[in-house]
Structure formats: structure tokens, C-alpha cells
């Protein structure tokens, strides 16, 4: 009987190990021995260049988000396709920026430590370091992710939450990645920095539904201003608009205040106020301190950075981030 109990306990430990092993292999300073300068090379490159392009912080954090939502955080968003069928060819990724920036860092790291540092880890670290360099919050980035070689347009279109999402869609797509409503609210807070294009919200102004041209959830004064000065027609796909007007360079609580005033740019921003739980979370954030927001945001970023990661013998280390077979 004792032997059976021991065997059962061992089997349970093995089973548990199967579930947690990939997560356990992510660790702080994973490259301490194999490429000790890796993280400093990344942070130094960002410090050197981010001040020439401070707006790059928002695209880099967006790239990390979009990467993790398709096949986990495996760098597959960086892969080019000769047939136009990769993740970066999907509608949600057509306005992504920063691919060349990540590739330049990868080239430096390959010269320092060939075939060692993954593209997936570079995305995760650059997102954090770029936000910090522009005055935003710091969060832990355990490393050890490995790269995928599959990048599919359809998967990106089906898994990345579009700006037109209602609450049900947002909840489902986040839950698919093991992220809860608190993560949804906090990660949406990244909209406090950066810009978008009129194409991402024009339907709210001109073609919301078959019965209503303008989204009634959008503040009418704000909508009138956008129509007059920014998005002047339904077909405007190029004009740039701030996601957090007047505060787009500051990582702060302004975004949430605008959402409560019905001035969130996207339908997905507005959707956060249609659920009592997420609405309460937003009110709690607005009534709290920036420091509290930073800490909570950091926890959700760390959690997202662990989504379906490939570690150990899974995945590969691509030598050129844009080439699947490198």
C-alpha cells in the first residue's frame, strides 16, 4: 500500500511538472552565463536611440502584445512571408512598427553570442525597456523564451482583439490567453501612450450601424472635433490620431479618465465601461495613485509575457528574426 501511495504521489508530481515546466524554465537573468551582456546590450541600444524616436515605446509594447496573443510569446509576429500570409500581413498588424529596430538589436546580439538570444525575448525586453526609457513603469521580464517558426495571418486575425471589439469579444479573446478582466483593464492602460490611425475608429464616426451613423457611446463633442480636425471622412486611412489626447507621451491615468468621459478612441475602450466589474476597476484606478497603477500594470505585463511560451527543447533560436527557417 505504501508503495502504491509513493507511486501515485510520484505520478502526480510528474503530471504537475508537465503543466508548470515551461513556466518554471523562464527565469530572471536566463542569459547570465550564455550571453551575460545580452540585457545590457538591449537596454543600451534603447537608451541610445529612443530619444530620437520616443514614439517607438508604444509600437514596441503593442508588438509584444500582438506577439503573445498568437501562438504565445514566440516572436512569430516578426516573420516575413513571401506569400503574404504571415501574422504581420493580418489587418491588426498592418500598422505595427519597430520590426527594423528589433532586427538591429538581434544583429548586435548575434555578433556577441551567436544562436543564443531568442527574438521572443528581445521583443519582451525591448517593450519593457522602451517604456521605462520614456518615463513609464518597470516590470520584471524573466527570459528563456524560444522562437516559433509558424506565422499565420488567419490566426492573428482571429486572436488579436480588434479596436471594434465589444465586451464579450474582449473577455473571450483575453480568456483564451489565460488573462482575466483585471488584466484586460490594466493592459488596455497601455493606450495611455502612442497614436493610431483614423481607419481604426472611423466606423464610430460615420458608419456605426445600419440605424445609427455615429456611435452613441462616443462623446458627441469629441466626435465633432475628430470629424472637423482629424478623421474627415470614412475613407481616411492615413491620418494619425492620439489615443490619449494631450497626454500621449506620458504613461499615466489620463487614458482611464477619458474612457469614463466617453472619450476613449476605440470601441474596445468604450466597451470597458459596459461591464460593472471592469467599470469599477477603472474607477478604482482613477481614484488611486499612479504608483498603484504602475504596480498593477507590471503584474499584468509579467503575466502576459508568460503566455504559452516555448522553453527548453521546444521552439528554436532564430538567427534572423524575420526569417522563419533561420
Query: Does 215 count as an annotated binding residue?
Result: no
Burial class (CB in 10 A: 0-12, 13-18, 19+), 254: middle
Is position 197 annotated as part of the catalytic site? no
Query: Does 191 count as an annotated binding residue?
Result: yes
- Check if the beta carbon of residue 41 is closer than 8 Å to that of residue 105: yes
Query: Does 89 count as an annotated binding residue?
Result: no
Cα separation values, 217 from 243, 262, 274, Å: 16, 6, 10
CA distance 22 to 309: 7
Active-site residue (options: 49, 64, 66, 197)? 66
Residue with cell 522553453: 311
Phi/psi at 243 (5° precision): -80, -25
Q: Within 230-322, where are the H helices?
A: 254-260, 267-271, 276-286, 290-304
CA distance 158 to 72: 14
Distance of CA 323 to the CA centre of its chain: 21
Query: Does 278 count as an annotated binding residue?
Result: no
Query: Does 72 count as an annotated binding residue?
Result: yes
Query: Does 75 count as an annotated binding residue?
Result: no
Query: Does 70 count as an annotated binding residue?
Result: yes
Query: Does 74 count as an annotated binding residue?
Result: yes
CA distance 39 to 36: 8
Residues in Cβ contact with 145 at an 8 Å cutoff, skipping those fewer than 6 apart: 26, 73, 74, 75, 118, 120, 121, 124, 309, 310, 311, 315
CA distance 293 to 116: 35
Query: Does 168 count as an annotated binding residue?
Result: no
Query: Does 169 count as an annotated binding residue?
Result: no
Query: Does 87 count as an annotated binding residue?
Result: yes
Annotated binding site: 67, 70, 72, 74, 76, 87, 161, 191-192, 244, 252
Q: Which residues are annotated as a binding site for Ca(2+)?
A: 67, 70, 72, 74, 76, 87, 192, 244, 252
Q: Which residues are annotated as a binding site for substrate?
A: 161
Q: Which residues are catalytic?
A: 66
Amino acid at each position: 500500500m505504501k508503495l502504491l501511495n509513493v507511486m501515485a504521489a510520484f505520478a502526480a508530481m510528474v503530471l504537475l511538472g508537465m503543466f508548470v515546466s515551461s513556466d518554471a524554465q523562464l527565469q530572471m537573468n536566463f542569459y547570465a552565463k550564455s550571453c551575460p551582456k545580452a540585457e545590457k546590450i538591449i537596454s543600451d541600444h534603447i537608451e541610445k536611440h529612443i530619444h530620437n524616436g520616443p514614439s517607438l515605446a508604444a509600437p514596441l509594447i503593442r508588438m509584444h502584445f500582438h506577439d503573445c496573443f498568437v501562438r504565445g510569446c514566440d516572436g512569430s509576429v516578426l516573420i516575413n512571408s513571401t506569400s503574404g500570409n504571415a501574422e504581420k500581413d493580418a489587418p491588426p498588424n498592418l500598422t505595427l512598427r519597430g520590426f527594423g529596430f528589433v532586427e538591429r538589436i538581434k544583429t548586435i546580439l548575434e555578433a556577441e553570442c551567436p544562436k543564443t538570444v531568442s527574438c521572443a525575448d528581445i521583443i519582451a525586453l525591448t517593450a519593457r525597456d522602451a517604456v521605462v526609457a520614456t518615463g513609464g513603469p518597470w516590470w520584471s521580464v524573466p527570459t528563456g523564451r524560444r522562437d516559433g517558426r509558424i506565422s499565420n495571418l488567419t490566426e492573428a486575425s482571429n486572436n488579436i482583439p480588434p479596436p471594434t471589439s465589444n465586451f464579450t469579444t474582449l473577455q473571450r479573446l483575453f480568456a483564451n490567453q489565460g488573462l482575466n478582466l483585471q488584466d484586460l483593464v490594466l493592459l488596455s492602460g497601455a493606450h495611455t501612450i502612442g497614436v493610431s490611425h483614423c481607419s481604426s475608429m472611423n466606423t464610430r464616426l460615420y458608419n456605426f450601424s445600419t440605424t445609427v451613423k455615429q456611435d452613441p457611446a462616443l462623446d458627441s463633442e469629441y466626435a465633432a472635433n475628430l470629424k472637423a480636425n482629424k478623421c474627415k471622412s470614412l475613407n481616411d486611412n492615413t491620418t494619425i490620431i492620439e489615443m490619449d489626447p494631450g497626454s500621449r507621451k506620458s504613461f499615466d491615468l489620463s487614458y482611464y479618465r477619458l474612457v469614463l468621459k466617453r472619450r476613449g478612441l476605440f470601441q474596445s475602450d468604450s466597451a470597458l465601461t459596459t461591464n460593472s466589474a471592469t467599470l469599477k476597476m477603472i474607477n478604482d484606478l482613477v481614484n488611486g495613485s499612479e504608483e498603484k497603477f504602475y504596480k498593477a500594470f507590471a503584474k499584468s505585463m509579467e503575466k502576459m509575457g508568460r503566455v504559452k511560451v516555448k522553453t527548453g527543447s521546444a521552439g528554436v533560436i532564430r538567427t534572423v528574426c524575420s526569417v522563419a527557417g533561420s
